[in-house]
Structure 1
Amino acid sequence: MIPYPKTKRFHSVIKTVTWQRPSDPSAGYPVLKFVGTVKLHDTNAAIDYQKDRGYWLQSRSKIITPLKDNMDFAQTMNPLAKEFFFDRILLHHPTMREYYECGCSIVIYGEWCDGNIQNNVAIYDLPKMFVIFKVRIVDATVASEKYESIDQDSESEQEAARSNNKFWPEPNQWSDIRWPEHSIYSIFDFPTYNIEIDFNQLDLSQNRLVEITRAVKRQCPVGAHFNKPGIGEDVVWTEWAHSRGRLAFKVKETEHSVTKTQRLAAVDVEKLTSLNEFVDYACTENRMIQGLNHLHE
């Protein structure tokens, strides 16, 4: 399987972008444009298609089947997976068809929302749906074990940029993939956001990032689409022009964060004054729910 990599926090992306000083000091660090999409708080799922091997379904950490499932994703999607791919993807997306015919794996990643995970968010109790948020193409002829455990932190951005063995197609190549009759949507069916981050003046963008996250918290855009009021979850920001989708981070708000911090920077545990304070910081209700959901995956 090809698991979805862990999404970084903002401070990790800052480190990635600024780890090496610019060769021309007067030029400074880059100014990058990021696209923000709503992160839905349910469970990560994917369908992986490969010409010689067929297809399989997976959770974040393992291959699943209707008999060994995760939140009924395989049971729901397995009967639809073949028709979905050939009629809704290959037929209308020549880039994916080209790579598929060459033997590459086409991995469709999304959030499987079964309506029963976190009862304090807007999408709670909505009908089950699969919301696609990213697609990955991997050359199966070289995708040995080293790709089966790939993570964003396991290789540098420079190495990724040079690699043609695996990449994230830009949204304009897949954002129209949907099958609403079977509750399959694209995250781009819902409101998105844009921000330009100047890595020389990070304070200018941090406030805007927090503002957008708080707006999503007040009313989840996906919930609003389905006329369901309630709070939202995180926002995931992805840069496409330079990093080809590899540079991504999420911004949380405390009410649905698994920790109790509104800061975009990392929390220094050593600065917490007591064990009780650390427990209060780390062991939120949503952290406990997240842990239980991970056991199911």
Structure 2
Amino acid sequence: MFPKINFSAGFIVAYKKYQKDQRRFNKKPPNEVKLVGTVKLHGTHADIVVYSNDQILFQSRNRALDLEHDNHDFVKTMTPHKKQILSLRDQCIAKYEDIKGKGSVKSQYPIIIAGEWVGPKIQKGVALAQLEKNKFVVISISINNSWVPDQTFFTISNENVGIYNLIARTGYWMETLDVTKPAAFKETMKKLTLQVEKECPFAKTFGIIGTGEGMVWKGDLVAETRHILGADPKFWFKDKGEDHRNTTTEDLSARKAELKANARKFAETALKESRLEQGLDYLREMQVNGMLDRHTQFVKWLCEDVITEERRMIKKMTIDINLLRKAIDAIGTEWYMKQIGFRSLDLGGSGGASEDRSS
């Protein structure tokens, strides 16, 4: 499955560990790391997995997909294009062998064409929602069970059947991050992120002006060790604009005396509308049925997502995990009940739960 991408603090921790490991082999990776930045699209993740025997599978970030268990009609739309998909697989192999040599692609590993399924009715409040129809946008490719440089494989697309390549449409950015002094890069990163949020570069290629989401950054080649960091997802990180950030926890004070109040405040900051909406998307993707099951899975997803993405800030601020879970449960439940039209009983009249309209 496609990896979950963390924030820049995780990259810095991973790179410093990489430096330490490489010193054991008398290699000295520099403090300054070259990074490749691309536009982050606000849709739903989708993968096309192609095997050497021509078998094609589809998957989301969380599960395998088929015509009975689809995600926003991704499988339904892509299934008729088997010939074109196999051609893209062959193009991936040819490009890789041009670089690594004939026979360098191992047949036991599938080619994974990872992308974002974007367009109307997938996400709200973004420029991509104004597209005439949904599009599959290639954002990463895996060959030999390793992610290859995005900028090298920018030709992998077939726009005639709705398969686009992100870099071919929007280009990419090259920046340098000094892991010992990250402030300068973070300032540059924030400016780029805000530019993308203000005007989505991918949507603009279709004449649509409107809100984007942010940026994704991947480590480039480290000359001293000949390692392409971006082959490993722990050297990827994202930055979102304020309208799409799930959290602004870095702005919270770690000096709060009351653990319960601290956990509640953290949860309130983490549970922005975008994250809550993503929880509903997860229920739809996993086809969870039944009011009780949907509520349980919704709260569980929120807890796991917040704790996973914000684990460093949780540790730094000494947030009590159990209290945080309770706060997330309370806030998430209140929001969820509003979405399905739940009205609690009162002494003055009748109430109850209306039909779950979130499915």
TM-score when normalising by structure 1:
0.79
Equivalents in 1 of 2:104, 2:135: separation in Å? Answer: 27
SS in 2 for 1:230: coil
Aligned-pair CA distance for 1:108: 0.6
Is this contact kept in 2: 1:220–1:233, CA < 8 A?
A: yes
Identity of matched residues, %: 27
| Residue of structure 2 in register with 1:160 after alignment | none
Q: Does 1:229 align with 2:227?
A: no
Q: Does 1:116 align with 2:121?
A: yes
Aligned-pair CA distance for 1:78: 1.1
Instruction: Kindly provide the amino acid, as one letter, of the partner of residue 73 in structure 2.
Output: D
| Residue of structure 1 in register with 2:34 after alignment | 33
Instruction: Kindly provide the amino acid, as one letter, of the partner of residue 252 in structure 1.
Output: K
Equivalents in 1 of 2:105, 2:23: separation in Å? Answer: 40
- Equivalences for residues 121-200 of structure 1 within 5 A: 121-126=126-131, 127-138=133-144, 166-188=145-167, 189-200=169-180
Aligned-pair CA distance for 1:23: 4.9
Equivalents in 2 of 1:245, 1:92: separation in Å? Answer: 16
SS in 1 for 2:71: coil
Instruction: Kindly provide the amino acid, as one letter, of the partner of residue 65 in structure 1.
Output: D
| Residue of structure 2 in register with 1:155 after alignment | none
Equivalents in 2 of 1:280, 1:181: separation in Å? Answer: 44
SS in 1 for 2:231: coil
Task: Write 1 or 2 for the structure with the bigger share of helix.
Answer: 2
- Equivalences for residues 286-297 of structure 1 within 5 A: 286-297=274-285
Number of residue equivalences: 262
| Residue of structure 1 in register with 2:236 after alignment | 248
- CA deviations 1:169-194 (Å, max 9, x no partner) are 22354211111112211110213222
Equivalents in 2 of 1:268, 1:52: separation in Å? Answer: 55
**Alpha-carbon distance change, 218 to 172 in structure 1, aligned in 2, over 3 angstroms:** closer
Pick aligned residue for 1:283 from 271, 275, 279: 271
Pick aligned residue for 2:187 from 195, 200, 207: 207
Equivalents in 1 of 2:207, 2:88: separation in Å? Answer: 27
- CA deviations 1:82-127 (Å, max 9, x no partner) are 2123334415751457566733210110001132133211111312
Equivalents in 2 of 1:275, 1:252: separation in Å? Answer: 23
Instruction: Kindly provide the amino acid, as one letter, of the partner of residue 9 in structure 1.
Output: F
SS in 2 for 1:85: helix
Larger Rg: 2
- Find runs of 4+ consecutive structure 1 residues off by over 6 angstroms: 267-270
SS in 2 for 1:123: helix
**Alpha-carbon distance change, 172 to 29 in structure 1, aligned in 2, over 3 angstroms:** closer
**Alpha-carbon distance change, 289 to 211 in structure 1, aligned in 2, over 3 angstroms:** same
Instruction: Kindly provide the amino acid, as one letter, of the partner of residue 4 in structure 2.
Output: K
**Alpha-carbon distance change, 100 to 200 in structure 1, aligned in 2, over 3 angstroms:** closer
SS in 2 for 1:185: strand
Equivalents in 1 of 2:138, 2:275: separation in Å? Answer: 24
TM-score when normalising by structure 2:
0.66
**Alpha-carbon distance change, 170 to 274 in structure 1, aligned in 2, over 3 angstroms:** closer
Equivalents in 2 of 1:270, 1:59: separation in Å? Answer: 40
Instruction: Kindly provide the amino acid, as one letter, of the partner of residue 175 in structure 1.
Output: F
Q: Relative contact order, CA 8 A, sep 6+: which one is greater?
A: 1
